[in-house]
Chain A
Amino acid sequence: MLRTRSLDTDSPYVADESKMSGHADALLIPDNEDDVIEAARESYRNGTPLTVSGMRTGMCGGCVPFGGKVLTTEKMNRVIGAGRDDRGFFIRLQPAVTVRELNDVMRRKAYSNLQDVTEGATAELKASGDYFYPVDPTELNSSIGGNISTNASGPRTLKYGPTRNWVRRIRVVLSDGTALDLARGDVKAVERTFRVHMGDGFHTVRLPSYDFNMDVKNSCGLMSRDGMDLVDLFIGSEGTLGIITEADVYVTEWHPLMSNILFFPCDEDAYGFVRGIRASSATPEFLEFLDSGSLNLIRGVRSKDPLFTSMPDLPSYAKSAVLLDLPMDDTLRPSYEAIKMAAEAHGGSLDRCWCGHELKDRERFFGMRHSIPQTVFEYVAGLKRTVPKIHKMATDMAVPLDRSDEMAGLYKSALDSYGLEHVIFGHIGNGHLHVEIILKDMGDLEKAHAAYRELAKKAISLGGSPSAEHGIGKIKKEYVALLYGQKGVDEIRELKRSLDPKMILAPGNMVDP
């Protein structure tokens, strides 16, 4: 049954982790796809905006409504079944299942209540080794529906690619309540055109003329390529084209890993180490960076709360750090040989580091990495009490690997020239570092916007994306214009109009209505 609730202005359903907050007339809580269809039909009839929200961990205000109704998928949180095809096992689930919940099911092999999507699949999966879902947007409480809608990726994208690579099939409800069941391979564009059957007949959907950059991590704008799959149009569409009500995602075999963190005397040494690793035979599955500011941020919190990150005290010589995971197999020792050489060339060593191979340790390493955005998030949430209009400012730009160091230097010089306190950390293995600004007041926010605009232009000129994994939402719309020009913005808007003629779905996301 579709339930409706009224909303206060401070309701959590009108905000996300960017700390942007909006307003809506009502909250809709569907239990199943029929409820979602009912909600869409009603909104379509009245021409009222309908913004879909998952677990609201987004960083760009994508699920934040500005008027109309907000639909939360949170009650559609069932893992439905398991199946197997030529590529391997997949799990069928409702959109609000979180990454953590999905992996918990597989870790506990809790398959007994799941349906067999293909004959005997749950029993086969139970009898097989350990499986997991490899896309790990560091925020494990995000929903798979949200991940698909933002084409989320994370540290393990280095080995496994973004969400897009793991989606087998989706069910999606369009603006007028039409439900589509799309498996990859079912519908391909003819050059740059799809024909989609909606309630009132066939709609022609024209893809934008730009070529979506697949060479770097990219979640800026809608995907557009000749002959592409219709599933890929919905992946990364940020709730603007339809509401995902069910998905099949592939899972893969888990293997033991060794997590490591190596410490260096300065940021440049850590960059040099990463260059050395890339040129070597080592095969890390996770390659993440923490700059000196990030390590000091951790030290600061720990001086008040020694249990923070549940890691040992950071050594005083640690001025920057690189985290990397290695498969625990025959390649481990040769990898360590290569790491030794690269580390020693840059002031590190196999003694100036920590490692751990138990799940508990891996979670701690991961937690330490995650503590950086989380700490900044909590800081901004606190600041919001006195500066209500403030919101988090984090860059999310990726550049080709051979331009990564250049970009890191640009981050530092641009932010220093604006006098903005910041930390740099993140997916160095994918040429994708995040910068978080420690904002003090609205003046800083203005400066940060200006600095980000400059940096986004630089990232694009280096062949990168101004929005690699968080999407555009409402905060980063200007980047779409920067990357694709006004023509691209207009083409995205026209594409949206062809599937959402009344422009009711998540209005204000990606492009202005």
Chain B
Amino acid sequence: MKIVVAVKQVPDVSSVQTDDSGNIVREGIPSVLNPYCEYAVYMACRLKGDGPVTAVTMGPPQARGALLRCLELGADEAYLISDKAFAGSDAFATSKVLSAFVRTHIPGYDLILCGKQASDGDTAEVPAELACMLGVQQFCYVDEIVAGDDLRVLQNYRDEKRICVVPLRSVISVSKGECNRRLPSINDYLRAADVEIKTLDKAALGLDEQSAGVKGSKTRIISSRSSGVERSCVTIDGTNPSDAADVIIKEAGM
């Protein structure tokens, strides 16, 4: 199966700190492959059979690091789409660039996988918009993919789960992987380091100044603020489970 995985490099949220006024301090924060994208790469590599897995990202030159990680995890080739004109792209413009990439470079693909959302923006819009622009079906929030006579996915909307049969050439966004980040072997790394990461600019995708970046984006951020959700914790003595259950029932107003 020929699988394209669209991935993103994000700041490592586990080491993000805020300054005294609550703003995120970005300096010195390492970048990592978005964890959901990592799950997608992993699923793609398990599904691929003999078809290649192609990892692609739109990002600055340092996003090569994320692609190297995809290669270490088993992707066969990698494309970095990097162009100053693409800076400031929102989800819409990003999807436009990615769909142009698929059309021009991997037109004969069988499946596109994405992470369900990027941990820095959390919009979860790219997979759906990409499917829409390519005119194919989308299956978001997928926990499992099983390939047999047909291809089935388990979609998990939290309040509802469903199993769908997925036609080829669909876009799937992946929401679940292993609880601990996988690690490559030294041989995996050496193989990955030998693969040339191909770089593409707007001309290679047949795009112009207006199609992406700030100019091609539809989102305007008017203001942003943190929504301070107050959480509190009550420890319940569980020596007597039935008493403990009563406390929970009362708290929940059931």
A interface residues, Cβ below 8 angstroms from B: 107-110, 258, 260, 262, 306-307, 309-313, 333, 336, 339, 350-361, 364
Q: Given known contacts A359-B12, A360-B14, is B182 in contact with A312 (CB within 8 Å)?
A: yes
Contacts A/B (CB < 8 Å), 25 sampled = A108-B17, A109-B27, A260-B186, A262-B186, A306-B179, A306-B180, A307-B179, A310-B181, A311-B180, A312-B178, A312-B180, A312-B182, A333-B190, A336-B186, A351-B186, A352-B185, A353-B185, A353-B186, A354-B183, A354-B184, A355-B184, A356-B184, A358-B69, A360-B32, A361-B181
Q: Is the pair B27, A364 in contact by a Cβ cutoff of 8 Å?
A: no
Q: Is the pair A108, B186 in contact by a Cβ cutoff of 8 Å?
A: no
The 4 closest A-B pairs by CB, nearest first: A354-B183, A108-B28, A350-B186, A359-B30
Chain B residues near A353 (CB-CB < 8 A): 185-186
Chain B residues near A309 (CB-CB < 8 A): 180
Which of A309, A339, A350 gathers the greatest number of chain B CB atoms within 10 Å? A350
Chain B contact residue count (CB 8 A cutoff): 24
A307–B27 Cα distance when bound, in Å, is 28
Chain B residues near A358 (CB-CB < 8 A): 30, 32, 65, 69
Which of B30, B180, B182, B188 gathers the greatest number of chain A CB atoms within 10 Å? B180
Choice from A306, A307, A313, A350 contacting B190 with Cβ under 8 Å: A350
Q: Is the pair A364, B190 in contact by a Cβ cutoff of 8 Å?
A: no
Chain B residues near A351 (CB-CB < 8 A): 185-187
Nearest-neighbour CB distance to chain B for A56, whole angstroms, equals 25
Q: Kindly state whether residue B151 has any CB partner on chain A within 8 Å.
A: no
A458–B20 Cα distance when bound, in Å, is 55
Chain A residues near B183 (CB-CB < 8 A): 311-312, 354-356, 361
8 A Cβ contacts from B20-44 to A: 25, 27-28, 30, 32
Nearest-neighbour CB distance to chain A for B24, whole angstroms, equals 12
8 A Cβ contacts from B54-83 to A: 65, 69
Choice from A306, A310, A355 contacting B186 with Cβ under 8 Å: A355
Chain B residues near A107 (CB-CB < 8 A): 28
Q: Is the pair B185, A360 in contact by a Cβ cutoff of 8 Å?
A: no
A352–B185 Cα distance when bound, in Å, is 7
B229-251 CB mask vs A (1 if < 8 Å, else 0) is 00000000000000000000000
Known A354-B183, A356-B184, A360-B15; further 9 A-B contacts with Cβ < 8 A: A107-B28, A108-B28, A307-B180, A312-B183, A351-B187, A353-B185, A357-B189, A359-B30, A360-B32
- Which chain B residue has the least Cβ–Cβ distance from A258? B189
Nearest-neighbour CB distance to chain B for A345, whole angstroms, equals 16
Chain A residues near B184 (CB-CB < 8 A): 354-356
- Which chain B residue has the least Cβ–Cβ distance from A105? B28
Nearest-neighbour CB distance to chain A for B186, whole angstroms, equals 4
Chain A residues near B186 (CB-CB < 8 A): 260, 262, 336, 339, 350-351, 353, 355
Chain B residues near A356 (CB-CB < 8 A): 183-184
Chain B residues near A110 (CB-CB < 8 A): 27
A309–B32 Cα distance when bound, in Å, is 19
8 A Cβ contacts from B171-198 to A: 178-190
A187–B249 Cα distance when bound, in Å, is 73
Chain A residues near B30 (CB-CB < 8 A): 358-360
Which of B14, B25, B187 gathers the greatest number of chain A CB atoms within 10 Å? B187
- Which chain B residue has the least Cβ–Cβ distance from A307? B179
Choice from A260, A310, A359 contacting B180 with Cβ under 8 Å: A310
Choice from B27, B69, B180, B187 contacting A350 with Cβ under 8 Å: B187
A355–B178 Cα distance when bound, in Å, is 18
A310–B190 Cα distance when bound, in Å, is 24
Q: Is the pair A355, B32 in contact by a Cβ cutoff of 8 Å?
A: no
8 A Cβ contacts from B188-239 to A: 188-190
Nearest-neighbour CB distance to chain B for A358, whole angstroms, equals 6
Chain A residues near B17 (CB-CB < 8 A): 108
A333–B194 Cα distance when bound, in Å, is 11
A311–B25 Cα distance when bound, in Å, is 27
- Which chain B residue has the least Cβ–Cβ distance from A336? B186
A443–B32 Cα distance when bound, in Å, is 50
A109–B180 Cα distance when bound, in Å, is 30
- Which chain A residue has the least Cβ–Cβ distance from B31? A358
Chain B residues near A310 (CB-CB < 8 A): 180-181
Chain B residues near A350 (CB-CB < 8 A): 185-187, 190
- Which chain B residue has the least Cβ–Cβ distance from A361? B183
Q: Is the pair B181, A364 in contact by a Cβ cutoff of 8 Å?
A: yes
Q: Is the pair B180, A336 in contact by a Cβ cutoff of 8 Å?
A: no
A229–B70 Cα distance when bound, in Å, is 53
- Which chain A residue has the least Cβ–Cβ distance from B17? A108
Nearest-neighbour CB distance to chain B for A299, whole angstroms, equals 14
Q: Is the pair A360, B28 in contact by a Cβ cutoff of 8 Å?
A: no
Nearest-neighbour CB distance to chain B for A122, whole angstroms, equals 15
Chain B residues near A359 (CB-CB < 8 A): 12, 15, 30
Chain A residues near B27 (CB-CB < 8 A): 108-110
- Which chain B residue has the least Cβ–Cβ distance from A356? B183
- Which chain B residue has the least Cβ–Cβ distance from A343? B186
Nearest-neighbour CB distance to chain A for B253, whole angstroms, equals 32
- Which chain B residue has the least Cβ–Cβ distance from A310? B180
Nearest-neighbour CB distance to chain A for B148, whole angstroms, equals 26
A350–B185 Cα distance when bound, in Å, is 7
- Which chain A residue has the least Cβ–Cβ distance from B33? A358
Chain A residues near B187 (CB-CB < 8 A): 350-351
A336–B15 Cα distance when bound, in Å, is 30
A258–B184 Cα distance when bound, in Å, is 12
Q: Is the pair A355, B189 in contact by a Cβ cutoff of 8 Å?
A: yes
A355–B183 Cα distance when bound, in Å, is 6
Q: Given known contacts A108-B27, A109-B27, A109-B28, is B189 in contact with A360 (CB within 8 Å)?
A: no
Q: Is the pair A354, B185 in contact by a Cβ cutoff of 8 Å?
A: yes
Chain A residues near B28 (CB-CB < 8 A): 107-109
- Which chain A residue has the least Cβ–Cβ distance from B68? A357
Which of A357, A358, A359, A361 gathers the greatest number of chain B CB atoms within 10 Å? A358
Nearest-neighbour CB distance to chain B for A150, whole angstroms, equals 28
Q: Given known contacts A339-B186, A355-B183, is B12 in contact with A360 (CB within 8 Å)?
A: yes
A352–B186 Cα distance when bound, in Å, is 8
A339–B189 Cα distance when bound, in Å, is 14
Nearest-neighbour CB distance to chain B for A309, whole angstroms, equals 8
Nearest-neighbour CB distance to chain A for B33, whole angstroms, equals 9
Nearest-neighbour CB distance to chain A for B219, whole angstroms, equals 29
Nearest-neighbour CB distance to chain B for A335, whole angstroms, equals 10
Choice from A108, A258, A307, A333 contacting B25 with Cβ under 8 Å: A108
A110–B20 Cα distance when bound, in Å, is 13
